[in-house]
Amino acid sequence: MKNHRFRCGATLAVLSLLLVAIPTNDSHAGQKKKKKPPPLPTSAQAARFLNQCTFGPTSALLAQVQQKNGYENFLAQQFSLPPTLVMPRVDQAIAALPADTGPSYPLFSEAWWYTIVNAPDQLRQRVAFALSEIMVVSAQNSGMYEHPEAMATYWDTLASDAFGNFRQLLEDVTLNPAMGDFLDMVHNDKPNPKRNTEPNENYAREIMQLFTIGLWKLNPDGTQQLDRSRQPIPTYDQDVVEGYAHVFTGWYWAQSGTPTWNYVPANYRQPMMAFADHHDTGPKALLNGVTLPPNQMQDVDLAQALDLLFNHQNVGPFLARHLIQHLVTSNPSPGYISRVAAVFNNNGQHVRGDLAAVVQAILLDKEARNPNLTSGYGHEREAIVRLANLYRAFNASAASGKFVVGNQNFNFGEAPLYAPSVFNFFSPDYSQSGAIEQAGLVSPEFQITTDTTVITSANKMRSSVYQQPSSNNPDALVLDLSPLVAVANDPNTLVDLLNDLLMGGAMSSNTRTIVTNAVSQISAANTLERAQTAVHLLVTSPEFVIEK
């Protein structure tokens, strides 16, 4: 057991050092060069780009990006695609259940995995995933576990709004029934002096702290503003929390016929509806010293309260930092944050909150595309993203047509829309003790990279690589390794192919030597075993885990 613990700790140490000790190459800094048309993306550059903006490269997408204006054209094509919704697949699964079986979260999970691995709108799905870990809703320890349609409705809201305006996203999330259930806005009643009750403050607090502006006033580059005593300045106080809690009163499940505030079955498919008699009509103290006047219509109160949040100076840098962390790097520079925040504030056509423009700014920024990486650049690929990379690279499928990925929370410490709390699986400010913390860096995903999940996630990746069709298990997800088998007689060609598909073209010479030697020791006649061995070694390597 002691040796087992040592191996886990050593692996974590290697991951930490990989994130910190990335070489710097600035030998050409300051040299002026004439502007030339951008060269075509190399295979490695295309792979790195796709790792940042999809759930993993495929051979077809690599070829698409390796063209003139490849990055811009790919983004334009992705922005034009309609959202692939998970609800139809969830409904189909519910309809197929035996009469004695009720629906539950695994039906959503299956639809989610099928969608994120196979859907053409990869950028939209990847951005929705990032948003789902900022604006958190969860089925864990919730009555919504028995309502996969609740998770599907929420996911489809995020996917549909991923390239729209942040103001619309904010309103849609606020009135989403799953969010209403998760953070207690549904059936949130106005004050009742006779019963000595006040509105619930959960959603009021979290929409500010976690979804939009954070706890402290920010500069445009994401750094904290300081007062004359060099202390951070709070963005809001308890009075503002209470003011927003009163704004968010009077919303309940959508109903047909004559609606009632009394108990009715939960409706997770439609936005919550307004009940004016249960909305507080008094004045409400909100952000920046603004007080809403009394006796306004319920929808007016809501619109004005959300407008105040949307127009707050913090939203641009707050959202920029969080999205950059999920898509590109855990430690974006203040300049990177500032450039993206500026696009949030004005997309170039005087429109605030254009999410498509924000996503494009993140992915095309010089810090995202610069191959001369600086120390501390990159982030750990989330475990479920790594598994999706594997499934997409080799067109995984099951005989049943289903996409059942079991034991995710056990194997990875995470699963889609299954966080343990509104604070997600990990904090954006978490710093792994040791080299990363000493370097003053953060490493959010390392919070769920424990001695246990290092082993369980590696085991899951291995079993996925070696899974073969089984008549006893029609749901078994099997990789199509035939393109690898076809070149497996040449270890170098095999490794070259995997370098782009799995490693973003950044495989080190040491790793290449290890994998090539391991493959060469297997009989050339056993081409499948050669392919499986190469894939297994790479997808469980620290270099695959750390996306640079």
Tell me whether residue 519 is in a domain.
no
Tell me whether residue 255 is in a domain.
yes
Q: What is the mean pLDDT of residues 479-493?
A: 97
- Amino acid (1-letter code) at residue 241: V
Q: What is the mean pLDDT of residues 46-59?
A: 96
Q: What is the mean pLDDT of residues 209-237?
A: 98
Return the percentage of the chain with pLDDT > 90, whole number: 90
Whole-number pLDDT of residue 23: 43
The lowest-confidence range among 85-94, 156-165, 287-296, 365-374 is 365-374
Q: What is the mean pLDDT of residues 345-364?
A: 98
The single residue listed with the structure tokens 């690279």 is 393
Q: How far apart are CA 284 and CA 294, in angstroms?
A: 8
Whole-number pLDDT of residue 500: 87
Tell me whether residue 285 is in a domain.
yes
The neighbouring-strand residues paired with 379 are 547
Whole-number pLDDT of residue 86: 98
Q: What is the mean pLDDT of residues 440-451?
A: 97
Whole-number pLDDT of residue 106: 98
Q: How confident is the model at residue 156 (pLDDT cuts 50, 70, 90)?
A: very high
Tell me whether residue 168 is in a domain.
no
Closest CA to 360 of 378, 340, 346: 340
Range of the domain at 236: 202-213+225-310
Q: What is the pTM of this model?
A: 0.93
Number of compact structural domains in the chain: 1
- H helices, E strands: number in the chain: 26, 6
Q: How far apart are the first and last CA of the chain?
A: 33
Q: How far apart are CA 16 and CA 380, in angstroms?
A: 9
Whole-number pLDDT of residue 374: 64
Q: What is the mean pLDDT of residues 322-349?
A: 97
Whole-number pLDDT of residue 19: 52
Q: Taking the CB of residue 115, how many other CB atoms lie within 10 A of it?
A: 24
Whole-number pLDDT of residue 69: 83
Return the percentage of the chain with pLDDT > 70, whole number: 92
Q: How confident is the model at residue 187 (pLDDT cuts 50, 70, 90)?
A: very high
Whole-number pLDDT of residue 14: 47
Whole-number pLDDT of residue 506: 87
Q: How far apart are CA 120 and CA 531, in angstroms?
A: 27
Task: Inform me whether the pLDDT recorded for 30 exceeds 60.
Answer: no
Task: Inform me whether the pLDDT recorded for 32 exceeds 80.
Answer: no
Q: What is the mean pLDDT of residues 207-219?
A: 98
Summarised one tens digit per residue, pLDDT across range 366-387 is 999 986 766 678 999 999 999 9
Whole-number pLDDT of residue 157: 98
Summarised one tens digit per residue, pLDDT across range 508-548 is 999 999 999 999 999 999 999 999 999 999 999 999 999 98
Average pLDDT, the chain: 93
Summarised one tens digit per residue, pLDDT across range 163-180 is 999 999 999 999 999 999
Whole-number pLDDT of residue 249: 98
Whole-number pLDDT of residue 22: 43
Which residues are CB-neighbours of 387 under 8 A, at least 6 positions away?
405, 412, 460, 461, 464
Whole-number pLDDT of residue 342: 98
Burial state string for 483-521 with b = 16 or more CB within 10 A and e = fewer than 16: bbbebbeebeebbbbbbbbbbbbbbeeebbeebeeebee
Summarised one tens digit per residue, pLDDT across range 243-255 is 999 999 999 999 9
Task: Inform me whether the pLDDT recorded for 26 exceeds 50.
Answer: no
Tell me whether residue 366 is in a domain.
no
Q: What is the mean pLDDT of residues 196-221?
A: 98
Q: How confident is the model at residue 112 (pLDDT cuts 50, 70, 90)?
A: very high
Whole-number pLDDT of residue 11: 52
Closest CA to 336 of 321, 358, 315, 357: 321
Q: What is the mean pLDDT of residues 137-150?
A: 97
Residue 227 vs residue 1, higher pLDDT: 227
Tell me whether residue 261 is in a domain.
yes
Task: Inform me whether the pLDDT recorded for 36 exceeds 90.
Answer: no
The secondary structure element, H or E, covering residue 292 is strand 291-292
Task: Inform me whether the pLDDT recorded for 8 exceeds 80.
Answer: no
Tell me whether residue 118 is in a domain.
no
Tell me whether residue 229 is in a domain.
yes
Whole-number pLDDT of residue 1: 41
Task: Inform me whether the pLDDT recorded for 474 exceeds 50.
Answer: yes
- Tokens for 216, please give them: 């402290």
Q: What is the mean pLDDT of residues 411-440?
A: 96
